[in-house]
Amino acid sequence: MVPGRIFFKRRLVGFLTVLVAAVVGIDCQAACRRAPLGGDKAAYFPAMAKRMAAVHGIGMKKIVQKGNYAGGGFSIVWYRFGTEQENEDATGIKISDDPAPGAVGPLMFLGDNSQANLDRMRTLTAATVSYFTHIDESQIAPEIDAMLKKVVAAEPKKDDVLTDYWKNSTKPVAQHQWGNVYVDMPTSPQVLNAVSVTIGGPCK
C-alpha cells in the first residue's frame, strides 16, 4: 500500500470512530449537546414509517446494534428506511435514536449522497421537523433541500484529505432552526459517500 493510501486509511478509521461516537451520544458536530425533542417514541416512529411509505414507497425496520467504544459497551437503536433489500444491507436511510426511555432524544440520520437517498433524507428531515413543530412540511422541505445540496457541495475531495495538514471539521456547514427544533448538517469526505443530519432541541 502506498504511503498516501496508508495515510488516508488512518484518516478514514479516525473519521468513522468519531461518527460512531456521535451516534452513541457524544456530540461531535457542534459545541453543545442538543436537548431531547420530547414527544412519544411509540407514536413518532410509526408516523415516520407511514410518511416514508407514502412518499417513497419504502418500509421501516428496527435494528438494535451492540458494540464497544473507548473501553465501554453501547447499544444503538437504528430505524432503517428503504426497500426490503436496502434494510437488510443497511444501504438506505437510518435514524439513530437516543436509547434513554421516554422522550425522543436527539436524532441522527445517516445515508449516502445518491440523489435517491438525498430525496429520502429531505422528506424524513422535513417530516420530523413538522412533527415536532407543527409547521407544514411544504414550508420546511425547500430549506432542507438547500442545506443538503450545500453539504454535498462542501464535501472534501480525495486530494484534500490526502494532505498531511487536513483535519475533518466537526462544525456544521449547514444549520437551521424552526421553533425549538434545530437541524445541523456536518460534511464528510466525498470518498466516504455519507451524509448525516442531526436534529434536536436547544443546546444544553
> By mean pLDDT, which of 13-22, 120-129, 158-167, 170-179 is the weakest?
13-22
Separation in Å, CA 136 to CA 8, 11, 144 = 43, 41, 13
What is the pLDDT at residue 168?
Answer: 74
What is the pLDDT at residue 167?
Answer: 79
> By mean pLDDT, which of 73-77, 78-82, 107-111, 193-197 is the weakest?
73-77
Give Cα 131 distance to the centre of its chain.
17
Per-residue pLDDT tens digits for 123-154: 999 999 999 999 999 999 999 999 999 999 99
Per-residue pLDDT tens digits for 3-23: 454 444 444 444 444 454 444
State the pTM of this model.
0.82
What is the pLDDT at residue 195?
Answer: 92
Is the per-residue pLDDT at 204 higher than 80? no
